[in-house]
Amino acid sequence: MIKKFKLAILAGDGIGPEVMEEGIKILEVIKKKFMLKLDIKEYLVGGVAIDKFGTALPKSTIDGCLNADAVLFGSVGGDKWKHLPVEQQPERAALLPLRKILNLFVNIRSSKLYSSLSHLSPLKSKIVNNGFDILCVRELIGGIYYGIPKGQKMDNYKRRYAVDTSIYYEEEITRIANFAFEIATFRRKKVTSVDKANVLETSILWREVVNKVAKKYPEISLNHLYVDNASMQIIKNPMDFDVILCPNLFGDILSDECGMITGSIGMLPSASLNKSKFGLYEPAGGSAPDISGKNIANPIALILSISMLFKYSFEQLNIADAIESSVINVLKDGYRTFDILTTNTNEKLLSTSSMGSKISDYLKHEE
């Protein structure tokens, strides 16, 4: 029987459209190879949407996402829109509201060090020789990014000040903790919860609630780390980590740290999910204005985001695995975009479009 899925594609700005083109090549192969009916519709988001509709998140784009089974997102932002008030700029005006509208309360970022690329890690080889596989589970629509009051004000003495409010409801912590423990049951069964419970009230509640949720998962081992210590331990011993559970702000920072120690942001996929299987999938990096338009961006982060999409939203594990295997095999055979190229003579430099075509070819022949 032919399976049917609806996919909304939001390529956005900068390298977004370039890497998305390669993602579409992969989707075309999947459709044929696995007999899927993929109904793909493209929508504008970010700076290109501001140029056409005067807003970074037009209603047609919101409706398109709400009507889809999953969203594949490129990236938004660029110098062209930097003169706008911050609340109208692409990232703030498109991504943040989209996460809220779609109720994407969890962000997961996989930081896996592939053995063929372990030399790219900035960490010493004795630390990363055996690779590592960390999954950062970040609460995405609560905490200090969304708390009210927020903004800049003037006090009675005409001194300017700014305020952000950090707030967490017990239920918000419970649902993200449940997610982290569930996902850990399919992995190495270890959760590290990150907070700042020695200073912050929200962190004290965070720790209490995580401990409560942990009682439902006796097979999962749980430890707590203060965020400052976590940032040190990740660098000292990344192999010690399996699932890292974080509030919004700490997750934003630590997931970048976990990404960086793999060697390139161009390799890192991410997924933002809600309670049902719906999700928004995107590369961890941004619109990379410094390299956009040059056909040199690494499309692997976007292609691995498609693998996550087939795993978490469409629940087609064989397709997810086939995509990931094709990427691993292309890397094993020495093909590289410029960001992951070293002086090793076995390596062959590919452009964005050639890397996309190479992975598509490998995928066609993947068992």
Q: Which residue, 220 or 288, is less far from ligand NAD as judged by CB? A: 288
User: Environment class of residue 186 by beta-carbon count within 10 Å: exposed (0-12), middle (13-18) or buried (19+)?
Assistant: exposed
- Helix axis angle for 170-185 and 201-214, nearest 10°, is 40
Q: Is 78 in the site for ligand NAD (CB under 6 A)?
A: yes
Question: Is 226 assigned a catalytic role?
Answer: no
Q: What would the x/- binding string for ligand NAD be over residues 331 to 360, using CB under 6 A? A: --------x---------------------
Q: Is 69 in the site for ligand NAD (CB under 6 A)?
A: no
Give the active site residue among 69, 114, 168, 196: 196
Q: Is 202 in the site for ligand NAD (CB under 6 A)?
A: no
Question: Is 133 assigned a catalytic role?
Answer: no
Question: Is 196 assigned a catalytic role?
Answer: yes
Q: Which of 76, 113, 245, 246 binds ligand NAD (CB under 6 A)?
A: 76
Q: Is 107 annotated as a binding residue?
A: no
Give the active site residue among 31, 33, 133, 145: 145
E strand segments, the chain: 3-12, 36-42, 70-75, 106-112, 133-139, 147-154, 160-165, 190-195, 221-226, 243-246, 269-273, 279-283, 335-336, 348-349
Residues 6+ apart with CB under 8 A from 167: 142, 143, 144, 147, 202
Q: Is 46 annotated as a binding residue?
A: no
* Cα of 160 vs its chain's centroid, Å: 35
According to DSSP, the residues that pair with 112 across neighbouring strands are 133
DSSP tag of 92: I
Q: Per CB under 6 A, which of residues 272..311 are in contact with ligand NAD? A: 282-283, 285-291, 297-298, 301
Q: Is 336 annotated as a binding residue?
A: no
Question: Is 240 assigned a catalytic role?
Answer: no
Q: Is 207 annotated as a binding residue?
A: no
CA nearest neighbour of 246 among 168, 150, 317, 133: 168
Q: Are 262 and 110 contacting, i.e. CB atoms less than 8 angstroms apart?
A: no
**Binding residue positions for NAD(+):** 286-298
Tell me which residues are annotated as active site.
145, 196, 228, 252, 256
**Binding residue positions:** 99, 109, 138, 228, 252, 256, 286-298
**Binding residue positions for Mg(2+):** 228, 252, 256
